Structure 1
């Protein structure tokens, strides 16, 4: 870009950000929240909600416990994990939230349905959110390396990689968590067997669609200038860029978050609480209507999710009863009772909401979604070991260190840190067998460990060139292309592992005309699907139909029992490891997605008969759920 054009562009971005910040200031003034202080009763409810979700000495949810993971770089991540005994070699489901949430976002998913007892469920706090450590910079290298280290650590605790009948790994994500997960599905697909992305676009696809529309509109205007009587060209040019203008309006808050830090501090102090209140009000619209007396409780819980632990939860470690088992291995990981405590950076954020806001909004400023990821050698070797075509043994490449999973509730002999996911064979139930395709979604998950190509970068991390070359030689040609090259065979952002994309047609944050046009080319290489929920919004992971969709997709991947059918019609079961047969037509009602997504691109499927399986069969009977792409 020409330097003058770049200056003009930066000035426009800055100006729009200032306008967005002034709008929020005006809104807070008119709303009265700018000068309003929380009542003592509201403060008590917030404190109670923080104790409920963040007190390390108590269970945050029934059958779940707090735990920590520490990377080799010293980043301490908080997560919540199921505490039951899952038996030998369980499945692993990792839940990753977005902005401005934490692990608490997933409480409906974790409590409103019967969870598979042969699966370990893990809800992570992203760096800078909830109870997880802050990062100095939230760029691609820091965030993606940290999340990758976490997933590798959870796999090391739960999955026996050398077992041909090993458990399945599923990563479910929302908003910024989905933005991070989409990059990993593209650049580190070996991490999971199936990825579920909700309420977030594939950034390169959306940017390509935006560029294509701008170029098309520019050509129309150029032609109109030569033929000014052809006014239809102007109308068509406006219609072409209208989705871009819509997205700019929806994304105004992003421009405010990208202002210089001193301005963000001012905006946070004046309007931060107002903004969170509006966000959580919008999020609550799709939830079941609760009694007026419960509204204040919901508000307190929503704020507790966004703000994370309070100063009281960060003062001292919990009692010995909630610490890691005393028979844990002696390694570089946290195993003492005092280790089950929040990091100092979490305590600093608890004392300063402005500091918490700066960390969370840094995801928008520091380029984690768009900047190149230069993988460390340790990450390259670990991913190579997970690839089924690689000759690197999984046992020769260790994931970064972590604290062990918490003790299991069941009275069984526990090894490897007393984790709910890592238990001895004594007293455990026989492990069900599943095909390498991964349960009922075998057609969508034909590659057991994800794709063989991605967009990885280079990263030696102080290791010798010879070691890097040795790693190259140990990998197959396809693995080498995925782990070391900066580009692969396909568009940037191509999802190289089986992926299900789930969006709400009523999403307030995204114009899906930009995000879904041509998406079939991005999800189809390794098997995938795109699901549009007509009456769902941005926080569909908390809405009833969204929770049902996620539950069925996860059950289909891991081969767990899950009822299908909606409103008492078309009842059936996703059987363990068996192919799914659809009991009724997959979609009820008219195609309301046409206005949302006029063209999904090649691979979008037409209506199928009532006996089809796959994703359409899996989601049969859910009203307003449309499978618009299935490969």
Structure 2
């Protein structure tokens, strides 16, 4: 089969499965009666109030103030923080810097249950950002790995300076911790592998290392092919190898079943926009309902969850911070869910897979961080770099075992080979995909941050047991 034919076949399969997914999700919404359900006046008011609470730049949210940071490249990031960046008080404090990075289809506000914790705010400098194209942060023309990771790296390097981690006289006087979920986790996996000096520890939840996923898929396909070859050579005794092949390939088949939404994201833009917003945002609303697990999902929660996804409205886009900073002008040009295409473009432009071509400025910044630190950011030696994509910074991976988007076997099997000394894999048996939202898992994430900034004394399993009984540390190095 020639390459053009194979490409055409692949595009056809992606289109058919993606279109099938859109139809299936629509039918599910119709069966539940949510597709044509209009919001009541009370629900509209709740949403309006929630957007004002979360996105009004002139108002604090639970001890967190809004900030617009313009990088040297001119790109504008929005974030919230309990401390004022680039002030003598913040730079001179001994509080570690903890940066929270969200995933799809959220914003900084998915962390609201964690970062409003008074004890955590007292102990660390909290920074919860909006990724490019999300919430209050400027959008990109293209969401390639280079474009996204360059901006994210520049932001983190700048934040380290503005929160006193790095100064002119010395580096790493305070810890930097990156906490990430979903797409934030995917991007942070790449940072931990390709820019490990950015943080002293990464705490990552329910997002894959794409290099490990690719390795597991190749292994599964190779093993299944070998079993099928054995069955073909001995058809009379083929039952056992056929069953073995089916069991071997079942994680991959399950992941393909769970990943229908990713195929839908590859469709023409009008279909993608319809997929994400049709039926009065039925899909996004169902995602937020699922994110709360078994907990009660109140009208207040509905409003705040949707406000997190929708970003600032026209009213909030006119507000300013205490310093007089305003949202990027691109937000004022894009209303009524136009920004969901920016969210989809992380999938469409292969931000998880494509090569990161580091700029000279990025290389110099990372080299400065690495040469200025007294600790080794990686447990791998010069000639022991591990497999491609191996994480070279200390990493704690949290995994909700009831994840409805990712198969644990595809994403975690062999993870130990990708981790350095001082890393762990923590399984949460009663949690699904949205660890920052579910009650037990968000308590566990707070404990993990506290354990990290307090010197990592004792085992992380013992530190987490009080907040999440039955937590399982499946790997520790």
> TM-score under structure 1 normalisation?
0.71
Alignment partner, residue 615 of structure 1:
460
Question: Structure 1, residues 24-81: CA drift from partner, whole Å, max 9, x if none?
Answer: 22233333433332222211111000001001111022x2100011223322110001
Alignment partner, residue 446 of structure 2:
551
* C-alpha distance in 2 between matches for 1:620 and 1:539: 20
**Aligned-residue RMSD, C-alpha:** 2.2
* C-alpha distance in 1 between matches for 2:118 and 2:322: 28
Q: How does 1:234-249 map to 2 (within 5 A)?
A: 234-249=242-257
Alignment partner, residue 529 of structure 1:
424
* C-alpha distance in 2 between matches for 1:7 and 1:526: 45
Alignment partner, residue 365 of structure 2:
382
Q: Which moved more, 1:42-51 or 1:77-86?
A: 77-86
Q: Quick one: which of 366, 374, 377 aligns to 1:450?
A: 377
Question: Structure 1, residues 379-418: CA drift from partner, whole Å, max 9, x if none?
Answer: 000000001378xxxxxxxxxxxxxxxxxxxxxxxxxxxx
Q: Quick one: which of 329, 336, 339 aligns to 1:352?
A: 336
* C-alpha distance in 2 between matches for 1:500 and 1:286: 25
Shift of 1:505: 0.6
* C-alpha distance in 2 between matches for 1:166 and 1:194: 15
SS at match of 1:172: strand
Question: Structure 1, residues 474-515: CA drift from partner, whole Å, max 9, x if none?
Answer: xxx96xx9xxxxxx8321210000000000011111110111
1:199 maps onto 2:199 in alignment: no
SS at match of 1:388: helix
Question: Structure 1, residues 90-131: CA drift from partner, whole Å, max 9, x if none?
Answer: 310000000011111111111245115352110000111111
Shift of 1:278: 0.8
Structure 2 unmatched runs, 5+ = none
SS at match of 2:98: strand
Alignment partner, residue 13 of structure 2:
12
- Does the 8 A contact of 2:137 with 2:327 survive in 1? yes
* C-alpha distance in 2 between matches for 1:164 and 1:129: 31
Q: Quick one: which of 300, 314, 319 aligns to 2:303?
A: 300
Higher Cα Rg, which structure: 1
* C-alpha distance in 1 between matches for 2:214 and 2:227: 20
Shift of 1:526: 3.8
Q: Quick one: which of 151, 155, 164 aligns to 2:160?
A: 155
Shift of 1:241: 0.7
* C-alpha distance in 1 between matches for 2:177 and 2:275: 38
* C-alpha distance in 1 between matches for 2:25 and 2:315: 31
Alignment partner, residue 293 of structure 2:
285
Q: Quick one: which of 227, 247, 271 aligns to 1:263?
A: 271
* C-alpha distance in 2 between matches for 1:201 and 1:286: 24
Closer, same or farther in 2 for the Cα pair 1:164/1:377, shift >3 Å? Answer: closer
> TM-score under structure 2 normalisation?
0.92
Shift of 1:165: 6.9
Closer, same or farther in 2 for the Cα pair 1:615/1:2, shift >3 Å? Answer: farther
Q: How many residues align?
A: 467
SS at match of 2:450: helix
Alignment partner, residue 471 of structure 1:
none
SS at match of 2:119: coil
Alignment partner, residue 122 of structure 2:
117
Question: Structure 1, residues 134-170: CA drift from partner, whole Å, max 9, x if none?
Answer: 1111110111011111101100111135447711000
Alignment partner, residue 188 of structure 1:
195
Alignment partner, residue 171 of structure 1:
178
SS at match of 2:433: coil
Give the structure with the larger helix fraction: 2
Shift of 1:185: 0.4
Closer, same or farther in 2 for the Cα pair 1:263/1:152, shift >3 Å? Answer: same
* C-alpha distance in 1 between matches for 2:36 and 2:43: 16
Alignment partner, residue 309 of structure 1:
312
- Does the 8 A contact of 2:56 with 2:319 survive in 1? no
Shift of 1:218: 1.0
Alignment partner, residue 230 of structure 2:
223
Alignment partner, residue 341 of structure 1:
326
Question: Structure 1, residues 170-208: CA drift from partner, whole Å, max 9, x if none?
Answer: 000000000010000000001000001101111110121
Closer, same or farther in 2 for the Cα pair 1:132/1:509, shift >3 Å? Answer: same
Shift of 1:226: 1.4
- Does the 8 A contact of 2:291 with 2:438 survive in 1? no
Alignment partner, residue 48 of structure 1:
49
Closer, same or farther in 2 for the Cα pair 1:272/1:125, shift >3 Å? Answer: farther
Alignment partner, residue 23 of structure 2:
22
* C-alpha distance in 2 between matches for 1:15 and 1:491: 35
Alignment partner, residue 371 of structure 1:
354
Alignment partner, residue 565 of structure 1:
none
* C-alpha distance in 2 between matches for 1:39 and 1:272: 12
Shift of 1:260: 2.0
Shift of 1:250: 1.0
* C-alpha distance in 2 between matches for 1:383 and 1:514: 31
- Does the 8 A contact of 2:386 with 2:417 survive in 1? no
Alignment partner, residue 518 of structure 1:
414
Question: Structure 1, residues 403-459: CA drift from partner, whole Å, max 9, x if none?
Answer: xxxxxxxxxxxxxxxxxxxxxxxxxxxxxxxxx7xxxxxxxxxxx362287xxxxxx
Question: Structure 1, residues 242-294: CA drift from partner, whole Å, max 9, x if none?
Answer: 1111111111111101112232233344247010111011012244x36xxxx
Relative contact order: is structure 1 or structure 2 higher (C-alpha 8 Å, sep ≥ 6)?
A: 2
SS at match of 2:436: helix
Structure 1 unmatched runs, 5+ = 325-336, 391-435, 437-447, 454-476, 482-487, 560-576, 581-612
* C-alpha distance in 2 between matches for 1:164 and 1:386: 7
